[in-house]
Structure formats: C-alpha cells, structure tokens
Chains A and B, each alone.
Chain A
Amino acid sequence: MRITQNMMTNTVVQNLQTNLNELNTLNDQIASGKNFSVPSDNPLGVLDSMQLTDAVNANTQYIQNANQGMSLLNSADGSLGNLTTIINRVNDLAVQGASDTLTTQDRMSIAQEVAQLQGQVMSIANTDVAGNYIFAGTNNNTPPMTSTTSGATTTYTWSGNSNPAIPSTQISYQIGANTNLQVNVDGSSIFGTTAPTGATSSLMQTMTNLISDLQSGNGQQISSRDIGDIQANLDNVLQVRTDIGARVNRIQSMQNTLTGQNTNLQELLSNVQNVDLAQAITQMESQKETYTASLQASAQILQPTLLQFLS
C-alpha cells in the first residue's frame, strides 16, 4: 500500500476529531447531568423519560387533589363530630324535659338551651373552607342555612342543594387517571327539611318541635315523638359520618398508591435520564487519556519526511 503524507494528515485529523467528539459528548453529559438532550440522542430513552415525566407530573397533581379532598372530608367529619355532641346534648335535655317533675321554669330554661344549640347547629351547617360552604352541595358560595327571628320564634331555612341523586350537586376531584371521587358531604340529608328514615321530622324541625313542646310543657309528646326523632336523626348523622370514613379510607389508600408510584416513577426517571456520574467521569478520564496519546502520536508521525535527511 502506497502511503502519502496527505493521507496521514487526513487520518490524524479524522482520528483527533473522533476522539474530541467523544470527549465533547461525555463533557456534555457530565455538565448537564442528563444522558440525552435531543430525541435523536436516544429515542427510546427520550420516550421513556417523557412518559415518566408525564406520569410523575400527573401523579403529583392527583396527590395534591387527594390532599385537598382529604382536608375537605376531614373538616366535614370534624364538624359532624361536633354535631353529634350537640345532638347527644339535645337528647339528654329532651329526656330531662320529658320528666313530669320539672317546673315550668325549668322547662323554659331547657327550651332556651335547646334554642341555643339549634343556633350552633346552624353555624355547623354553615361551616366553610376557604369561603366554600362544605355542606351546601354546589350552591357553596352562600351560607346554606339562614334564620329569621320574629318575636320568640326563630325560623331556619335551608338552601343547600346537595342530593345524592343529582350529579350536578356533587363536587368530585380527580384523584387518579380514571378515578374521580366525591369530596363534598350530602348536607341536605342532615340539615334539610326531609325527615330521615325512622323519624317524623328533620333535625331542625325536631329541635323546633322540642322547643315548642318544652315551652307548652307537653312531656308526653317529648317522650313519645321527639326523643325518637332525635335518635333517628343522630343515627342519620352517624351514617353520613360512616360514609365519610369510607371515602377518607379510599383517598388514603389512593394517596399511598400514588405516593408509592411516584417514588418508583421518579427513580425510574432518574435511571433513564440522569447520567451515572461515576461511570461518565471514569469514561471521560480514559477518553482524555486516549486523546492526549493520539495528540502525542500525531506530533511524532507528522514530522519526518525524507527532506529532513537530505543535505
């Protein structure tokens, strides 16, 4: 094979270019910390990383939604816990008021306490989180319960629209790719005008009845009707709380799944797109070595021709 100086120069230039290129790639990877910067560097890796990034972002948002839903349900449950205490107190007062031994004066003061408790029930019904009334269904920008007082009697009006049969009154959060979960509580069944199963009247009406029975001294009516109604309404609240508990459980398990998934996804993502620094730096060192060696060799090769040895 016939070799010329030009051929050697070309080969040297090409090899130096190749070595420098490899060095540049490794440098890029180490500086950016990423295995690739454009899709053509590694199409499959880029596809993986895009899919994983997407999943991580979506999951992060789902987790945030779940957290918010959780706090809504928790505050509803807390409020209903208070409501349970109030109803229990009303029950005690009713039992006390049903007794024949009480004076009218005593009954009147019990009635007053019940009326006060009724006011507390109203404030529970109007619980809000960041300006949104949580028991109001989707009419949640105005307090769902209002009261008007004329003389000694106070009338309560319920304007919440929540109704399990009507989807547009439900507020649902997306807490998974294909999972929406209702996060508001059916306040109408507790605070509305419909009597729950086993009761003859709604909670507010029952309390109003109790007050008027106490005022009129109708102990018979209290024990035969009002106490039963109070019990049935309490059962109803407890049932709603059980339902909340079930939903909280569901969100919790979803949160656990999402958080676990996110940890795994992030690890996968980092495996796909992040450079293994130890490996990259080792490679760069060895590539540097190669480059230096090729530079030295080139300097040796390119110098001599016959010309130097002719006098």
Chain B
Amino acid sequence: MNRLNSFFGLQIGLRALQTNQAAIDVTGNNIANASTTGYSREVVDLTETDPYTPPAFDAPVMAGQMGTGVQVAQIQRMRDTFTDSMYREQTGRQNFYTAQNDVLSKIQAVVNEPSSTGLSNALQSFFTAWQQVSQDPSASNRAVLAQDTGALTDMLHSMSSDLTQLNTYINQTVSANVDSVNSLTSQIAALNGQIQAVEANKANTGQNANTLRDQRDVLIDQLSQYGAITVNEAPATGMDTITMGNMTTPLVSGTTANALTAATDANGNKVVDDSSGTQVDLGYVSGSGSSTDDNSGLVQGYIAARDGATSGSNGSDLTAQINNLNILAQQLATSVNAQQTQGYDTSGNPGVNFFTSGTSPTVDASNIELNPLIAANTDLIAAASSTPAAAGDGGNALKIANLQSAFPAGTTFVTGFPSTQTFSGFWQTSVFNLGLAGQTANSQETSYQAMVSQLDNQRQQTSGVSNDQEMTNLLQYQHGYEAAARVINTEDSMLDTIVTGLGVITA
C-alpha cells in the first residue's frame, strides 16, 4: 500500500498560510478603501485544492481522496448591478430637474416678483402718471409721465437682456456638458479595453478586473447625470456597450467612443448631434413605454428649460418668458400708440407714436422706448381729445389711463395676448406659470434626490465596507493563519522526531 509523502502535511500548512495571508490582504484593502467613492467591497472565494489522488489507472490504492488544502479561487467584488441600473435612471431624472430648477430659479431672480420694485409696480406707476396727466396736463405731470415711462422701459430692457444672457449661459452649459460626456465616454472605452485584457483568460487565471470595473462604474454613474443611459455588458469580453437617449448608434461600443457634438440649431441655440450629425435627444428614456418621456439628464434639462419643447417644461421655459415679455411690450406699444395718435398735443397737432423701437422695425421688450421726440419735448404727449388743444383737456390721456383696466372695443391684439386680459393680468399669469414650473421642478428634484440616495444606500448594502465585518474577518483569518502555523510547527516536530530521533544510538 502506498503512503503519502512525509512532506504532504507541510504543503497543506503552507497553502493555508498563503491563503489566509491573501485573505488578510484583501480585508486590509477593504478597510483602506472604506470611504473611497465607487469602491466595491471585495471578498476572497476560498476553495479546496484538487484532492489526492486524482482518478487514474495507475492511481495508488489507498483511502481517499485526501484533501490537499485550500486556495484562493478568485477575488470577487460585491456589486448589485440591478440597483446600479435603477440608481443611474433616477440620477438622470434627478439631474433633469436640477437643470430645470437652476434655470427657473435664475428666471425668477430676473422676474423679481413679488416685490415693490417689479414690473407690476412699474406698470402701475406708468398708468398712474397717465391719470395725473389726464387730470392736469401740465408740464410737470408730463415730465413725471416721461420719467415713469423711462423707468418702465428700462426695466423691460434689463429683464430682456438678463433673460438673453441666461439663454447664452444655457447654451454654454449644454456645450460644456457635451464635452464632459465625451471625456467620460472616451475614458470608459479605454477601461473597456483594459478590462478585456485582464479578464481574457479568466477561467484559467482567475483574474477579475475589480479595480478597473470600480473605476468604470464610477464613470458610468457620472455619465448617468447627463442623460438616460442603457448599459449592456458583453459576457464574453466584459466590455460595456452604452447608449444614451434616443441615439441609434451606441455612445460607447467596445473600445470605441462615439463623440457627441454641440451643434447650433436654426435659432442659434445649442443642440446635441451624434457622431453622424443626426440631432439626438439625450433625455429620452427608452423602454419607458412613453414616446414623450424625455425627462432625464442635465443636457435635456437645460434644453427643455430653454426651448420648452418637451413634456417636462410646463410651458414656462425661458423662451416662453422672453416671448411673454415681448408680447407685453408689443401690446403696450400697440394700444398706447393707437390711442395717442387719436389725441392732440399742446399745439393741436395729432399725436405721434408714444412708444418707438429704435432702429428695429418691430417693438419688443429689448427695444421699446419712449419716442425720442416726446422725450425731448413732453408737449408732444397727446393728452387733448380735440384740436385746438385746450390747456386743461386731458380727455385722451384719460382714455390711455383707462387702458390699465380695460381695452376699448376694436383694439388690435398682438398674437399671444388674450383679449380678455389686462396688462398686469397677463404679467401675473406669466409669473404664476413660472412659479408653478419652479415649484414642480423643485419638488421633483427633491423627490428624485431622496430616491437616488435611497438607491445609493441600497447599493451600499451590497458594496459598502462594514468595518465591523472586516474586523471580524480579520480576526478569523488571523486565527486561521495562526492555526496553519501551528500545523506547520507540528509537522516540523514530527519530521524532527524522524530525522534526528530515529536510529540514533545514544550513549
């Protein structure tokens, strides 16, 4: 009968030492990375080594099989990929509303309502000044009217220019975001290549690209801020294919990253084109079952806040605000001019237009101004209702003052100005819609934020490092190491007995 080699047991001890050593190293790495962003807890998979004797024709005949010890099969990272994908979807949605909120709160700052210095107040002062002119069309009341008109148009100009600047800010942000996406995707594509190289012969080498995968997951998490992403990992290569929004070509495919470009649309605004030059909607959530579900990601958030072209904009986007301001300015100019030209100035001549638009052919909020002729000579304000103008005749001014509460029959309404509204009513509705959109964006952002942190916690349940657990493992492996050392010690003294004790004749 065959026997096992005398050194068999020593080998088992050695393997146990090495294995426990490796396990302690992994535990140490876990503890070291407990606070590292994106780190996934690693666990050593211990397996038994191949038993002795292996099945063979010439296998020795003996009781068996005999275990030969322990080995590290692989070092596995603990990751909940399903929660990952949910986390990324909700992150996208949260960031859509973050972008909306950003834009809407900036618009609200420009709008400056409710306040005692807002447009509402300027309108009130403007019409009060007209009332005063109607009561007494004196030079001093005319001067006050010219002043108040200046204050009103200045306010319209500054709001209009602030909103236009905000539009520029959004375009810059969209471009910057597209750059960020491109930088992320090229890094992810590079990591795809590295991961494939490490894991190519995984079955034989037991190599897992844990660190590289952690890095890639962090980048994908970051990428999910910008749009609705779908990630598919090819089982054979470990490479991720990533698509975003309604793109037909993947953003990342293998080691190739298809760069997006920030293109300029017909209105001079930034939109996103894929690598083949087709305009894409990065916020479209595929598989959500709704063709209008494109409320995801910073990029679409900013574009929607600017254009209002999507379901999430609530009709109170930046473009709508600029339009409303322009409509208000146009209606003001149209109505006041129509009435002013029916009256007569102090010399008894028919009134000239009260509002003009500088060199531009159409009036809007950016160019509406008091007719420079009137600014230079307030006698041209057509307060009188008949010619020759009597000094106390403010009949026409009264009709203009009356515009504050109602429009006369036959008024020409600018497209977009409801005939049942007043000037201040129109403005109030616009502010109300803005507030409503702001409130929605705010509450949506908060609720998605809560969801995201909930999901992050859920991921941490699997991936997070628990110091208690690691310390316990450390103790366990330490004791394992000590026990293995004891085995070697015992084997050693056994060998010692044979080598130095047997056959020695002591005198």
Contact = CB atoms under 8 A, between A and B. Distances in A.
Given A39-B434, A53-B120, A46 B466 contact: no
A7 B391 contact: no
A41 B101 CA distance: 12
Interface in B385-432: 385-386, 390-395, 398, 401-402, 404-406, 424-425, 428-429, 431-432
Nearest to A176: B405
Interface stretch (B274-282, B456-464, B497-505): B456-464
Contacts of B5: none
B431 A310 contact: no
Interface string B464-498: 11111001100100000000000000000000000
Contacts of A306: 467-468, 471-472
Contacts of B406: 177-178
Given A50-B113, A54-B428, 13 more contacts: A5-B466, A42-B439, A46-B432, A57-B121, A61-B124, A132-B136, A136-B392, A167-B385, A169-B393, A173-B131, A173-B135, A178-B402, A178-B406
Contact of B392 (A42, A138, A305): A138
Contacts of A140: 390-392
Interface in A30-67: 36, 38-44, 46-47, 49-51, 53-54, 57-58, 61, 65
Contacts of B453: 10, 14
A177 B424 CA distance: 13
Contacts of B437: 40
A161 B392 CA distance: 11
A305 B470 CA distance: 11
A172 B385 CA distance: 12
A75 to B, nearest CB: 15
Interface residues of B, number: 61
Interface residues of A, number: 57
Interface in A259-311: 273, 305-307, 310
A16 interface: no
B128 interface: yes
- Which of B429, B438, B472: most chain A Cβ within 10 A? B438
B304 interface: no
A2 B466 contact: yes
Contacts of A58: 124, 404-405
Contact of A174 (B131, B439, B457): B131
Nearest to A130: B136
A310 B472 CA distance: 10
Contacts, number: 176
A138 B391 contact: yes
Contacts of B442: 40
A36 B439 CA distance: 12
B401 A174 contact: yes
A50 B105 contact: no
Interface string A226-241: 0000000000000000
B35 interface: yes
B34 A47 contact: no
18 contacts: A4-B465, A5-B465, A6-B465, A38-B105, A38-B435, A39-B108, A40-B437, A43-B433, A47-B428, A61-B131, A140-B390, A168-B384, A171-B393, A172-B134, A173-B134, A173-B398, A305-B468, A306-B471
B390 A5 contact: no
B467 A139 contact: no
B373 interface: no
A11 interface: yes
A141 B435 contact: no
A51 B460 contact: no
B438 A137 contact: no
B134 A54 contact: no
A202 interface: no
Interface string A85-117: 000000000000000000000000000000000
Given A40-B105, A53-B120, A172 B111 contact: no
A54 B436 CA distance: 20
A193 B24 CA distance: 120
Nearest to A13: B453
B250 to A, nearest CB: 33
A24 interface: no
Interface string A175-189: 001101000100000
Interface in B329-387: 384-386
A141 B346 CA distance: 13
B386 A168 contact: yes
Contact of B104 (A11, A40, A47): A40
A36 B121 CA distance: 18
A184 B136 CA distance: 12
B114 interface: yes
A169 B394 CA distance: 9
A273 B114 contact: yes
A1 interface: yes
A40 B34 contact: no
A41 B113 CA distance: 12
Q: Closest 9 A-B residue pairs measured CB to CB?
A: A39-B435, A40-B438, A43-B435, A138-B390, A168-B386, A4-B464, A140-B392, A141-B391, A138-B392
Nearest to B436: A43
Contacts of A2: 461-462, 464, 466
Interface in A145-183: 161, 166-174, 177-178, 180
Nearest to A168: B386
A180 B403 CA distance: 12
Given A6-B34, A61-B131, A171 B108 contact: no
B152 to A, nearest CB: 15
A56 to B, nearest CB: 10
Contacts of A54: 120, 124, 424, 428
A138 B390 CA distance: 5
B414 to A, nearest CB: 21
Nearest to A21: B446
Nearest to A5: B467
A167 B466 contact: no
Contact of A171 (B135, B401, B464): B135
Contacts of B390: 137-140, 161, 168-169
Contacts of A184: 392
A53 B394 CA distance: 27
A15 to B, nearest CB: 11
Contact of A11 (B134, B136, B457): B457
B160 to A, nearest CB: 19
Given A39-B431, A132-B136, A305-B467, A10 B456 contact: yes
Contacts of A7: 457, 460-461, 464
A174 B398 contact: yes
A43 B385 contact: no
Nearest to B435: A39
A192 B245 CA distance: 84
Nearest to B125: A57
B321 to A, nearest CB: 11
A58 B124 CA distance: 7
A81 to B, nearest CB: 23
Contacts of A11: 457
A6 B464 contact: yes
A215 B385 CA distance: 46
Contacts of A220: none
B395 A170 contact: yes
B464 A50 contact: no
A296 to B, nearest CB: 22
